[in-house]
C-alpha cells in the first residue's frame, strides 16, 4: 500500500469530482482506479455545484448560497484525506473551499487537463492549489512564474485505465478506420474528409459536433469497443492557436479590471490561421499527446497521427506521424494493406502504455511529487514493484523545443514508396533512443 511519509496506514485521497465536465468521463474513472491501484484509500466527492459560484469574467455567473464552498470542504475534511485531487480545477479553485482544506493541513492538487487551450484562465487559479500538474509541458513555466516560490508545478501527460482499455488482437476487426471526437476543429476537417472519401467503411464521428443529449453520442463505456474494433485509429491534434474571438475579446478588448495572470504575456498579433485556443490568451503552442492516442493505442490499435506534437515523437517513435493531409492518407492506406505491421506497432505502443502510462503510474507519480511517497533511487524498485523509469521528465526546455506548427520528426518524412515500413525504420532508426522508449522497443 502507498503510505504517507512519516505515518502509518494507506494514503487517503479525496477526489473532488467536477461531474459537470462533459468530456471527462474517462478521466473520472481513471483517476479513481489509478489511486486505488497505487494502494490508496479513495473517496469521490461531487463538487460540480461549485461551478455555479459567480465570477465576473466567467461564463458561470449564478450565485450560490453563502457557505456552500466551506460546507463542501468540511464534508471532505471529515474523510481526513492526505490529498484532495481536483481534475481540471475550475470548480475546486474557489477560495473558501481551498482555504478550509489548507487550514486543516490537507494537500491540494489540480490536474490542468485542457492546456494550453485554457491557460489564460488556469494560470489565474492554479496558484491557489498547493500543487498543479499540467497536461502540456508548454504551460509549466507559466504556472511556475505565477507562484512566489516557483515550486509545486509539474508536467504530467494523460494516462490510461488499462483495465478498461485493454489490448485486442487484429482478428475480426470490422471497421477499417475510426475517429471519435469533434472532426470539425482546425485542422481536422481537411485531414479527415479525405479519408472519408477514399476509404470504404470509414467511421468518422463527428463532422457535426455531438453532445451528451445527442442520440449519436458515444458513451464512455463503449469507447474500448470502438477503439478495439478498428484496423487504423485516426488522430489529428487540435490547433492550439488562439481563436479570433479570444483575441478580440480577451486580448484587444480585455477589461482593465481583469488582470493578466502572472507569468503570461498576452498575444500581440493574431496568427494567420485561428486555432482552437478559446482561452489561450498568450497563444502558447502545444506539445502534449492527446488522450485519444493513448486510449486507442492501449487497445493495441495502430494510430496514425499528425506530426505536430513533439511529445508523440519522444514517447512513441514507432507510431506513424503524418506531416500533412496527403501524407496522412498515404500512411492510412498503407497500413490498411499491411495489417500485420499495423498490429505489431499497435502491440508495441500498447505494451509501452501498460509499462509507463497507465493511471496507476500517473497516480503514483502524483504521490511522489506531492511528498506522500518516497521516490526510489538507483536500482531500487518503486513501491509499484518495478523500476521508476516511468516518472515524467521535467526538463521543459527539452520537452518544448519545437513550435506546435512545426513537424517533430528529425529527418525527412518516411513514405511507403521508399520500400521500408515504419515497423523497420520507425521513421528514423535513431529515434529509438527516446527517453520513454526501451531499446530495442520492438524485437
> Where would I find the beta strands (DSSP E) of 47-202?
83-87, 107-112, 131-134, 153-155, 175-180
Residues 91 and 48 sit within 8 Å (Cβ to Cβ): yes
CA 252 to chain centre: 30
For the chain, what percent of residues have pLDDT higher than 90?
73
Per-residue pLDDT, 65: 65
CATH dotted code for 175-239+287-357+403-433: 3.40.50.2000
Nearest to 83 by CA among 105, 112, 113, 50: 105
DSSP letter assigned to residue 309? -
Regions of the chain with pLDDT less than 70: 1-7, 53-66, 377-379, 401-443
Secondary structure class of 402 (helix, strand, coil): coil
Per-residue pLDDT tens digits for 229-277: 999 999 999 999 999 999 999 999 999 999 999 999 999 999 999 999 9
Average pLDDT value for the chain: 87
Q: pLDDT tens for residues 323-340?
A: 999 999 999 999 999 999
pLDDT value of position 224: 97
Listed by start position, the domains of the chain span 175-239+287-357+403-433
Cell of 46: 461531487
Amino acid at each position: 500500500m502507498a503510505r504517507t511519509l512519516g505515518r502509518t496506514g494507506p494514503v487517503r485521497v479525496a477526489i473532488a469530482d467536477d461531474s459537470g465536465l462533459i468530456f471527462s468521463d474517462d478521466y473520472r474513472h481513471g483517476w479513481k482506479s489509478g489511486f486505488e491501484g497505487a494502494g490508496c484509500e479513495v473517496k469521490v466527492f461531487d463538487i460540480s455545484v461549485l461551478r455555479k459560484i459567480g465570477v465576473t469574467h466567467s461564463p458561470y455567473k449564478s450565485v450560490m448560497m453563502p457557505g456552500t464552498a466551506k460546507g463542501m470542504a468540511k464534508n471532505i475534511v471529515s474523510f481526513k484525506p492526505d490529498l484532495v485531487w481536483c481534475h481540471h480545477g475550475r470548480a475546486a479553485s474557489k477560495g473558501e473551499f481551498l482555504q478550509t482544506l489548507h487550514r486543516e493541513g490537507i494537500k491540494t492538487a489540480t490536474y490542468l487537463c485542457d492546456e494550453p487551450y485554457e491557460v489564460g484562465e488556469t494560470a489565474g487559479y492554479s496558484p491557489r492549489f498547493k500543487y498543479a500538474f499540467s497536461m502540456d509541458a508548454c504551460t509549466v513555466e507559466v504556472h511556475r512564474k505565477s507562484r512566489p516560490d516557483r515550486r509545486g508545478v509539474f508536467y504530467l501527460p494523460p494516462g490510461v485505465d488499462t483495465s478498461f482499455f485493454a489490448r485486442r488482437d487484429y482478428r475480426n476487426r470490422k471497421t477499417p478506420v475510426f475517429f471519435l471526437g469533434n472532426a470539425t476543429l482546425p485542422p481536422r476537417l481537411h485531414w479527415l474528409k479525405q479519408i472519408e472519401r477514399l476509404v470504404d467503411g470509414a467511421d468518422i464521428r463527428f463532422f457535426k459536433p455531438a453532445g451528451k443529449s445527442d442520440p449519436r453520442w458515444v458513451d464512455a463505456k463503449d469507447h474500448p469497443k470502438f477503439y478495439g474494433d478498428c484496423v487504423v485509429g485516426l488522430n489529428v491534434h487540435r490547433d492550439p492557436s488562439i481563436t479570433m474571438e479570444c483575441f478580440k475579446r480577451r486580448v484587444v478588448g480585455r477589461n482593465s479590471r481583469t488582470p493578466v495572470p502572472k507569468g503570461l504575456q498576452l498575444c500581440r498579433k493574431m496568427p494567420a490561421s485561428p486555432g482552437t485556443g478559446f482561452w489561450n490568451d498568450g497563444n502558447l503552442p502545444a506539445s502534449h499527446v492527446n488522450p485519444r492516442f493513448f486510449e486507442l493505442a492501449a487497445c493495441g490499435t495502430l494510430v496514425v497521427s499528425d506530426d505536430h506534437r513533439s511529445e508523440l515523437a519522444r514517447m512513441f517513435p514507432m507510431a506513424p506521424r503524418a506531416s500533412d493531409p496527403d501524407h496522412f492518407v498515404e500512411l492510412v492506406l498503407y497500413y490498411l494493406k499491411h495489417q500485420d505491421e499495423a498490429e505489431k506497432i499497435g502491440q508495441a505502443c500498447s505494451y509501452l502504455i501498460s509499462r509507463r502510462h497507465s493511471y496507476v503510474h500517473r497516480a503514483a507519480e502524483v504521490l511522489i511529487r506531492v511528498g506522500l511517497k518516497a521516490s526510489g533511487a538507483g536500482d531500487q524498485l518503486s513501491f509499484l514493484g518495478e523500476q521508476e523509469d516511468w516518472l515524467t521528465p521535467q526538463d521543459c526546455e527539452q520537452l518544448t523545443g519545437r513550435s506546435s506548427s512545426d513537424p517533430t520528426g528529425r529527418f525527412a518524412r518516411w513514405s511507403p514508396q521508399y520500400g521500408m515500413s515504419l515497423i523497420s525504420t520507425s521513421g528514423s532508426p535513431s529515434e529509438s533512443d527516446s527517453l520513454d522508449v526501451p531499446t530495442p522497443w520492438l524485437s
